[in-house]
Structure formats: structure tokens, C-alpha cells
Chain A
Amino acid sequence: MLCLLLAAQIASPAHAIAEPGIVIESASARIEHDIYLVDARLHYELSDEARQALESGIPLTFAVEVELLRQRPYLWDAVVADSRHWLRLEYHALSRSYLVSNLTIKTRHSFPQLREALEALGTIRDMAVVERKLLDADTPYQARLSARLDIESLPAPLRPAAYFESAWRIKSPPYRWTLTP
């Protein structure tokens, strides 16, 4: 019965409707113990190819990056600090479950359904960026959040194709907001 349920949910056409990619729905930063922490909600939408690869046992690795920028006149923005999390989504065939691992802070969770796994993947909480004392209190800073599928983590045979096919170009447009210290 469980199998049936899973199968029904995987086969659900709802996934195929949305455009593959990553949408950052919200992001915010707060200070706790003098450290900037970022919380964000991301919506991952996998392409059919990516999902097929996932179910064939190929792990997908995503990079979520937060950069702290200082704007400069006439020049590109200076990156003051950046923090990157590597998140891995994989399918466990024996348990028929999806595993979401954060390779940076070494956590792992299992989810019986892909939807839940993607949701967990899209929930960023307490991502430490920089200590407040390293920042200038009077300067306005901007934070930029972006997420993308890391093609270099795919198996070698898949990489050349992944670089050239849009189905594998799963990434978010950068999400910027101004920090309020």
C-alpha cells in the first residue's frame, strides 16, 4: 500500500507543470549572538531529466550561496563575506525514500516522498554568514542569495551533456535584499 501511495505521488503530473528551476520565495537575515544568520525559503522544481537521474540513483548536489555585498561607486560590488552550503538530494532504493543531506553542516534526513524532500531542501534555516563585528555599522550592506545545481558533482559521463542542456541548468536568479543591522 505504501508503495502504491509513493508511486501515485511520483507519477503525479503536478510536478511537470512548473518550469524547472529554483525560485527563492523569501529570504531574510537576523542577528543572533552577534552573528548574521540567514533564513530562506526556496522552491525547487526538478526537470524530468533530473528527476529521472535522481531515481536512477544519481545524487544531485545543490550549492546555496549567500554573499554580503558592499556597493561601491562606479565599480562592481565588493564581496565582504560569503557562505556556501552544499546540499545533496538522493534516492534510497531499498527504503524507497529520499535523503536530503547538508554536506556543510553534516545533517541528513530521509523523506518518503520527493515533495517533502524538496521542501526540506528549500528550507534554509540559521545559515551563518558573518560576524557582526566584522561589518561597518554605518555602511549599508546587501545580501545576495543564489542556489544552483552543481554540475561538476554529477558523474563524469553526464557532465558534458549537462553543461549544454537546459534541463540541467537548474539555478535561481540571485535574490537581493538590503541588510538592516
Chain B
Amino acid sequence: MKPRTRLLLAIALLGSLLLGSLMMMSDALQNSERFGSIYSLLLVVNTAGLLFFAVIIGVNIRRLWRELAAAAPGARLKRRMTLMFAGVAVPPLLIVYGFSVDVVRRGIDNWFDVNIEEALSNALDLSRASLDLRMRELLKQTQQLAESLYQPARGSVRLNFEDLDLPDNTIVVNEPPPVPAVDLDELRHTSGAEELTLLTAKGAVVASTELSPTLPSETVLLQLRQKENYIGLDPVRDDRLSIRIVVNVPGVGIGSDARILQALYPVAGRMTAMAGKAEQAFVKYKELAYLRTQLKIGFILTLTLVLLFSLLGAVWLAFYSAENLAAPIRDLVQGTRAVATGDYGTILPVDRRDDMGVLVESFNEMTRRLAAARDEARESRAEVEAQRLYLEAVVGRLSTGVLTIDSGLQVRTANAAAAHILGVPGTRPGGGSLEDLGRQLPHTGPFVDSLLRHLHAGDREWQEQITLFGLSGRQLLMCRGALLTAAHEHGGHVIVFDDVTALVQGQRDAAWSEVARRLAHEIKNPLTPIQLAAERLRLKYLRTLPAAETETLERLTTTIIQQVETMKGMVNTFSDYARNPTADHEPINLNRLIDEVLDLYRSDDPRMTLAAELASDLPPVHADPNRLRQVMNNLISNAIEAQADQPRCRIKVATRLLREADTAAVELRIMDRGPGIAPEMLSQVFEPYVSSKPKGTGLGLPIVKKIIEEHGGRVWVENNPDGGATAVIRLPVSVPAALRPATSPAAGSARSNAA
């Protein structure tokens, strides 16, 4: 059984007990013999019961007060419902109570009426009067009896003293009065009396018809002594009325010796009954009249107890019902708050089958579903996260740079390879706009510009090859971009790019090498027979020909031989060009190498001016010194040849350190005062066999370019604003990406291609 049901049962039991005792109390007030004896107990029990009720209600009020103070959920609803229930129950009770009290008052007052009282009083008087008449007759008769007691003429009257059982205090008269002349028993028979007793004036029994006579009281004796007779009603014996008559016996003794006679006569049964009824009614009426106020108080007390009982019961029921209704609502409020804070584990108890129960059930269902939905969402989020991490890991391991850009041109994500290819410090260029990237890393300018162009043009898919000139040298990027569809969260673009510098260079180098090798082979093969044939021609015909023709032969064969030699040299140079680069790079001091090379060109020729402007803070450069020397020789020879037609030959060699972001490069400039290079030639001077010079192999600058590119550097030629041209070489101080041993797959593939 639930505690609530148990409480309800206990209260119901207590209530019925109280109600029962109240009914008993009301019964007792109406002079009921049944409950009259426990009236006081009932009163105490009822008061205690009501006090108990009051305590319960007090506890309830206190609890409600606390809940209100703490703003507990449901408290205000409970208060309102309690007030409503109590408000419905209390006024009718008070009205009924007021009327009841009034009716009780009036009802009790109505019992009493002057007429009734008078009638009853008259009835009693009438009874008395009727008895009085009879009493007077009997008085006369008794007096006659008393007179006859001592008249001797009446035959043999004998008082038998031995038969009398006199009480201890009976005074035995020393001087006995004259013996009564008649027998009392006989007298009793003749007179019809119940009892006859002869006494002295002091009350001592002289003779009696009874063994224990009922003696007259002192007052009666006193009255007799004053020569008065006594007539009275005596209700002593068995609730029957008797008439007691006490008279002085005339002529016997004086003072204390005087004799008195007491006679008790029965009142006729009918008379007794009637008089008794009248008396009873009168007494009852008088008693009620006397108790009128107390009765009213008693009834009103009972009514008040009933009222209080009903009131307290109603109030308690109000509390009980309100609590009963508010409890599930309170649970719901608490449950809702719990759900609001994210706790979906709240399951409310369902202990009722009404609408409230259905509501609570629905709430529980709702929280169950919410919890299930949350778990599902959490699982799928974890799944997505796992997938994202997986993708990120895959993309992070790609050698291809992947960059995503949102519709606001902000870089959203970039993988490590992208950062590496673009030379972004750190590993992730994420965040920041595309323009910021271009500003921070100026060498990425072409890349950023190209991207912006495609983005602004709204190309859905594009592909472009972009060349960057970073501090680490020339970079060739193969970019592919695609518009992300709107289904993706932020829209925007994804750009995928590869650093194909090494690849392209390797391909070109391989192509040129192949061309050079074949050319050398094809050309070299007929040269030796030509040379040998020319020498044989000269030997055979020099001695046979006349002297005049000898000179001609000599000159012609010499020319052939010389030209073949020259051609051989050219083919050898070509072979050099085609030769695979060596990998014996070592850290070298560029300034010292320059000094060594310049020393070779210093001479006493007054036309010649060689100036060196070398920076002292140059870090060592990782390079092959012999190849670099060849570069220097080629460039300086070019500069000298360019000024061959001029009165003076001025060459200036300058080095300096360039620092940008976290990379550094060494710049070498070789300036001449020659005629400069035609602008249309500027972009082609490094192609093989492009030359403005009347002589030379046409491979000087291409070899320079090849060597510098092998070193990861850049070389270009520009015209000076004040005349002449400048060859500019930039060599990275750090090891170029393409030459870094086994750092990136791109570099590796480039090397294998080059090999």
C-alpha cells in the first residue's frame, strides 16, 4: 500500500471515529443513559482529535509556506487550489453552523413556557392538596389512636416489651409510664397504618410494630415538644410514598417523659402513581429549566466541535486534493527544467490513470525520444568527425597542395603540402584572406592573382600553369580549381596544385640533352674522316704540287682542319651541355670564387676596368664550384665581347644578400657598359643558339641558365637604365627544394627524371 493511501485511510478512520464520538456526545446531552457516563471522556477525545487535525493542517500550511518562499514549482498552484477548495467548503459550513446555533437556542428556549411551568406546578400542588386532605383525615384518626392508647376501658391491651428489639440507644425509662392500654399491632390493623411506633419525647422507641422503625428527625421531635403535630409525606421506603404523622399522646407523662405516637400510612397506589408522575414531570421541567443555559452551551459546544471537525476536515481535504493535483505538475515542471538543461534521463513516476497520468506518460515518451535523438546526433557527429579526421589525414599526406577558399575569399583549409609549396611559414595557412596571403608572401603574387581572376570570373572548373619566382627560385605550379557546389557548407572553391618545377625542368633538360647528344654524335662522326682526309690531301699533294699552288693547298687544308677542330670543340661543348649534372655540391664562399675568377681577367690592358663590390655578410652557398666558375667565365666573356668595339671595357661585379620572410638568397650582378640587349631578345637570350654575336657557340647563356637552374637559382638579363646590360643571378642560401635530398616526392621524381 502506498504511504499516501495509508495516510488517507488513517485520516478517514480518525474522522469516522471523531464523527462517531460527536454523535455519542450529542446523544449524551439528551440525557441518554447510554453515553451519559462517558460524556467528559468524549469531550476530551474529540478535542484531542481536533487538535490532531489542527496540527496536521498546521504542518501542511507550514510546508506550503516554505514551498512558496522557495518558489518551488507547483507551490502557487497548490495554494490557489487549496484556497479554492477551502473557499468552496467553508462558507456553507459557517452558514449552516450559524443557523443551527440559532435553531438550538430557539428550540431550547421554546421548551420553556410560563404556562407549562404553572401547569406543572399546579399539578404538583393539586397532588399535594389531595394528599393534604387525606393527611388531615389521617391526623384525626391518629389523634384518636393516641387518645385511645391509654384508655383502660377497652379491654386487655398489652404492650409486649419482650417482643421489641430496641436499639442500643433506647432509653429505658426508670419510671415507666403507664402501659398502653391497647396492642399496637391491633391498632395498626384497625387503623390501616403501615407502621405504628410509640416513642418518648426525646425520640426513644417505647413500642413499635416494626423491628426497625423509621424514626422521626430531630426537627419533628422539636416540633412535637412545642405541642405541635407533624404531618408529612415520606418518600423513604422503596420509592413509595408514605404519610408520616407524629402526634403527642395526651395525658401521659410531662416533658421528657411525654409519649408521642408516629404512624406511617401508605398512600394508595393510584394516588402514588399520579402524584409521582406529576412530581417527576415537575422535577424534570425544573431540572431542564435550571440546565437551560448549560444545555445550550452543551449543544453549541457539540455543534462547534462538529463545525470545527468539518472545517478542519474540509481544509485538510483541500490540502490533500491540491497536493494530489499539484504533485504531478510539480514533477512535470522539474522534469521540463531538467530537459531544458539537457538532462534527458528524467523519467517521471506514473501512478495514476487520469489525464494527468496520460500527460506524464507523454512527457516520459518525449524525454525518451529526445534522449534517443540526442544519442543519434552524437553518434553521427562522432562519425562525421572521424570521417573528417580521416580525410584530413589523407589530404595531409598528399604531396599535392589542397586549398579551400570560401565565397568570402577567405582561406578555409590548406594542407601541409600547400603550405610547403607556397613557402608559407608554419604548416597551415588556414584563416586570413587570399589577398592577405599575397601581401604577406609577395612571391605568391602570380598564384594569388591567377586564383582571384578565376574566382571572380566564376569559372566552375579551370586549370592553369603558374610560374612563381620565389626566393627559393623559379617554381612552376600546375593548378586546378573547382567550384564547390552549394551543398557544401560554405560554398567557395577548392584549389589543387602541384609543384611541377622539377618535373618540367627535368623533361626539358632531358630533351635538350638528347638533342645535344645526338647532334654531337651525328656531327662528330664525319668530322674525324674529314680532318683525316684533309690532312692526307695536304700530305699527298703538298710535295707534288708546284710551290705556287702549294701555298693555296696549305691554306685550304689548314682551314678545313681548323674548322673541323673548331667544330669538334663546339661538339664537345654541346656534349658538356648535355652532360648530366653532378651532385657534388659543397658550401662555398661566393666572394672568394668571384675574386679567383676576376684575377684571371685582370691584365695590364689600360682599356680594361674590373670593379668588384662584394657584400661581406654573404653566407656560404651550396654549389658546385667548378660549374659556378664556368658560369662566371661565360658571363664575363660575354661582357667583354659586348664591349669589344668600344674604347673602354668596364665590368662591375656585385654581390649582396637578400632576405625575405624566412628565406635568404644571394644575388650576383655582372654589369657591362656595352650596347645592351634588344628588348625583344631579352626573353630568348637563354635559349640555345640565340645570339646577337657574330661568333660563339650560342650555348654560353643556355649553359649558364642550365647550371643556375641546377642549383635551384634564377638568372635573367636586364638592361641598365644608364646603358649596358646586367646579368642577374640569384642563388638560394638554403638548399633549394628541388635539390633537397629525399624530402618531398616531387623532388625525388624530378631527380630520377633528370637522371
Instruction: Please determine whether A99 and B291 come into contact, CB atoms closer than 8 angstroms.
Output: no
Instruction: Please determine whether B283 and A159 come into contact, CB atoms closer than 8 angstroms.
Output: no
Instruction: Please determine whether A58 and B298 come into contact, CB atoms closer than 8 angstroms.
Output: no
| B235 cross-chain contacts in A, Cβ below 8 A | 92, 94-95, 97, 99, 110
Nearest CB of chain A from residue B23's CB, rounded to whole Å? 14
Q: Which residue of B lies closest to A155 (CB)?
A: B291
A132-168 interface code vs B (CB 8 A; 1 in, 0 out): 0000000000000000000010011111110100000
Nearest CB of chain B from residue A58's CB, rounded to whole Å? 6
Question: CA–CA, A95 to B131, complex, Å?
Answer: 10
Instruction: Please determine whether A57 and B232 come into contact, CB atoms closer than 8 angstroms.
Output: no
Interface residues of B in 198-257 (CB under 8 A from A): 214, 217-220, 231-236, 241
With A93-B283, A163-B40 known as contacts, the answer to whether A158 contacts B128 (CB < 8 A) is: no
| A156 cross-chain contacts in B, Cβ below 8 A | 28-29, 31, 36, 39, 298
Q: Does B421 contact A (CB under 8 A)?
A: no
A interface with B by C-beta (< 8 Å): 2, 52-53, 56-58, 92-95, 97, 99, 108-113, 116, 152, 155-161, 163
Question: CA–CA, A28 to B37, complex, Å?
Answer: 34
Instruction: Please determine whether A159 and B40 come into contact, CB atoms closer than 8 angstroms.
Output: yes
Nearest CB of chain A from residue B717's CB, rounded to whole Å? 134
Instruction: Please determine whether A116 and B219 come into contact, CB atoms closer than 8 angstroms.
Output: yes
B16-38 interface code vs A (CB 8 A; 1 in, 0 out): 00000000000011010000110
Question: CA–CA, A99 to B232, complex, Å?
Answer: 14
Instruction: Please determine whether B39 and A111 come into contact, CB atoms closer than 8 angstroms.
Output: no
Instruction: Please determine whether A57 and B284 come into contact, CB atoms closer than 8 angstroms.
Output: yes
With A94-B279, A95-B234, A116-B218 known as contacts, the answer to whether A56 contacts B286 (CB < 8 A) is: yes
Nearest CB of chain B from residue A56's CB, rounded to whole Å? 3
With A93-B279, A97-B232 known as contacts, the answer to whether A116 contacts B287 (CB < 8 A) is: no
| B301 cross-chain contacts in A, Cβ below 8 A | 160
Instruction: Please determine whether A158 and B124 come into contact, CB atoms closer than 8 angstroms.
Output: no
Interface residues of B in 125-183 (CB under 8 A from A): 127-128, 131
Query: Shortest 8 CB-CB distances between A and B: which pairs?
Result: A56-B290, A95-B233, A57-B283, A157-B298, A156-B39, A157-B294, A94-B279, A57-B287
Nearest CB of chain A from residue B219's CB, rounded to whole Å? 6
With A93-B124, A95-B241 known as contacts, the answer to whether A159 contacts B217 (CB < 8 A) is: no
| A157 cross-chain contacts in B, Cβ below 8 A | 29, 291, 294-295, 297-298
Instruction: Please determine whether B297 and A112 come into contact, CB atoms closer than 8 angstroms.
Output: no
Question: CA–CA, A2 to B301, complex, Å?
Answer: 43
Q: Which residue of A lies closest to B28 (CB)?
A: A156
Nearest CB of chain A from residue B439's CB, rounded to whole Å? 106
Partner of B291, one of A2, A93, A158: A158
Instruction: Please determine whether A116 and B286 come into contact, CB atoms closer than 8 angstroms.
Output: no
Binding site of A, secondary structure by majority: helix, strand, loop or mixed? Answer: mixed
| Most chain B CB within a 10 A radius of its CB, from A94, A108, A156 | A156
Binding site of B, secondary structure by majority: helix, strand, loop or mixed? Answer: helix
Instruction: Please determine whether B290 and A112 come into contact, CB atoms closer than 8 angstroms.
Output: no
| Most chain A CB within a 10 A radius of its CB, from B234, B290, B301 | B290
Instruction: Please determine whether A159 and B236 come into contact, CB atoms closer than 8 angstroms.
Output: no
Q: Which residue of A lies closest to B218 (CB)?
A: A116
Instruction: Please determine whether B220 and A112 come into contact, CB atoms closer than 8 angstroms.
Output: yes
Beyond A58-B290, A97-B235: 14 further Cβ-contacts under 8 Å?
A56-B286, A57-B282, A57-B284, A57-B286, A58-B287, A93-B279, A94-B235, A94-B275, A97-B233, A97-B234, A111-B217, A155-B31, A155-B287, A156-B39
Partner of A53, one of B36, B43, B232, B290: B290
Instruction: Please determine whether B219 and A111 come into contact, CB atoms closer than 8 angstroms.
Output: yes
| B231 cross-chain contacts in A, Cβ below 8 A | 2
| Most chain B CB within a 10 A radius of its CB, from A58, A93, A152 | A93
Instruction: Please determine whether A93 and B282 come into contact, CB atoms closer than 8 angstroms.
Output: yes
Question: CA–CA, A152 to B35, complex, Å?
Answer: 12
Nearest CB of chain A from residue B669's CB, rounded to whole Å? 130
Q: Does B289 contact A (CB under 8 A)?
A: yes
Instruction: Please determine whether A52 and B275 come into contact, CB atoms closer than 8 angstroms.
Output: no
Question: CA–CA, A112 to B244, complex, Å?
Answer: 12
Instruction: Please determine whether B232 and A152 come into contact, CB atoms closer than 8 angstroms.
Output: no
With A57-B287, A112-B220, A155-B287 known as contacts, the answer to whether A160 contacts B297 (CB < 8 A) is: yes
Q: Which residue of B lies closest to A53 (CB)?
A: B290
Instruction: Please determine whether B217 and A94 come into contact, CB atoms closer than 8 angstroms.
Output: no
Q: Which residue of B lies closest to A58 (CB)?
A: B287
With A156-B298, A157-B294, A161-B297 known as contacts, the answer to whether A112 contacts B232 (CB < 8 A) is: yes
| A112 cross-chain contacts in B, Cβ below 8 A | 217, 219-220, 232
| B40 cross-chain contacts in A, Cβ below 8 A | 152, 159-160, 163
Partner of B39, one of A52, A56, A159: A159
Question: CA–CA, A58 to B232, complex, Å?
Answer: 22
Interface residues of B in 270-302 (CB under 8 A from A): 275-276, 278-279, 282-284, 286-287, 289-291, 294-295, 297-298, 301
18 contacts between A and B (CB under 8 A): A2-B231, A56-B289, A56-B290, A56-B291, A58-B290, A92-B235, A94-B131, A94-B278, A95-B233, A97-B232, A109-B217, A109-B236, A112-B219, A113-B219, A156-B28, A156-B39, A157-B295, A159-B40
| A111 cross-chain contacts in B, Cβ below 8 A | 217, 219
Instruction: Please determine whether A158 and B294 come into contact, CB atoms closer than 8 angstroms.
Output: yes
Q: Which residue of A lies closest to B231 (CB)?
A: A2
| Most chain B CB within a 10 A radius of its CB, from A53, A93, A94, A109 | A94
Q: Which residue of A lies closest to B278 (CB)?
A: A94
| A99 cross-chain contacts in B, Cβ below 8 A | 235-236
Question: CA–CA, A156 to B26, complex, Å?
Answer: 10
Partner of A152, one of B37, B291, B294: B37
Question: CA–CA, A158 to B29, complex, Å?
Answer: 10
Partner of A110, one of B43, B236, B278, B287: B236
| B232 cross-chain contacts in A, Cβ below 8 A | 2, 95, 97, 112
Question: CA–CA, A159 to B214, complex, Å?
Answer: 35
Question: CA–CA, A58 to B291, complex, Å?
Answer: 9
Q: Which residue of A lies closest to B214 (CB)?
A: A109
| Most chain A CB within a 10 A radius of its CB, from B127, B233, B289 | B233
Nearest CB of chain A from residue B231's CB, rounded to whole Å? 8
Q: Which residue of A lies closest to B120 (CB)?
A: A93
Nearest CB of chain B from residue A6's CB, rounded to whole Å? 10
| B289 cross-chain contacts in A, Cβ below 8 A | 56
Q: Which residue of B lies closest to A109 (CB)?
A: B236
B597-639 interface code vs A (CB 8 A; 1 in, 0 out): 0000000000000000000000000000000000000000000
With A56-B289, A99-B236, A155-B291 known as contacts, the answer to whether A160 contacts B124 (CB < 8 A) is: no
Partner of B298, one of A2, A52, A97, A160: A160
| A113 cross-chain contacts in B, Cβ below 8 A | 219
Q: Which residue of A lies closest to B292 (CB)?
A: A157
Instruction: Please determine whether A94 and B236 come into contact, CB atoms closer than 8 angstroms.
Output: no
Nearest CB of chain B from residue A86's CB, rounded to whole Å? 14
Partner of A94, one of B28, B219, B241: B241
Partner of A56, one of B36, B128, B234, B287: B287
| A152 cross-chain contacts in B, Cβ below 8 A | 37, 40
Q: Which residue of B lies closest to A3 (CB)?
A: B128
| B284 cross-chain contacts in A, Cβ below 8 A | 57
| B36 cross-chain contacts in A, Cβ below 8 A | 155-156
| A93 cross-chain contacts in B, Cβ below 8 A | 124, 279, 282-283, 286
Question: CA–CA, A38 to B217, complex, Å?
Answer: 23
Nearest CB of chain B from residue A89's CB, rounded to whole Å? 14
Nearest CB of chain B from residue A4's CB, rounded to whole Å? 13
| B279 cross-chain contacts in A, Cβ below 8 A | 92-94
Instruction: Please determine whether B127 and A94 come into contact, CB atoms closer than 8 angstroms.
Output: yes
Question: CA–CA, A112 to B276, complex, Å?
Answer: 18
Question: CA–CA, A46 to B294, complex, Å?
Answer: 20
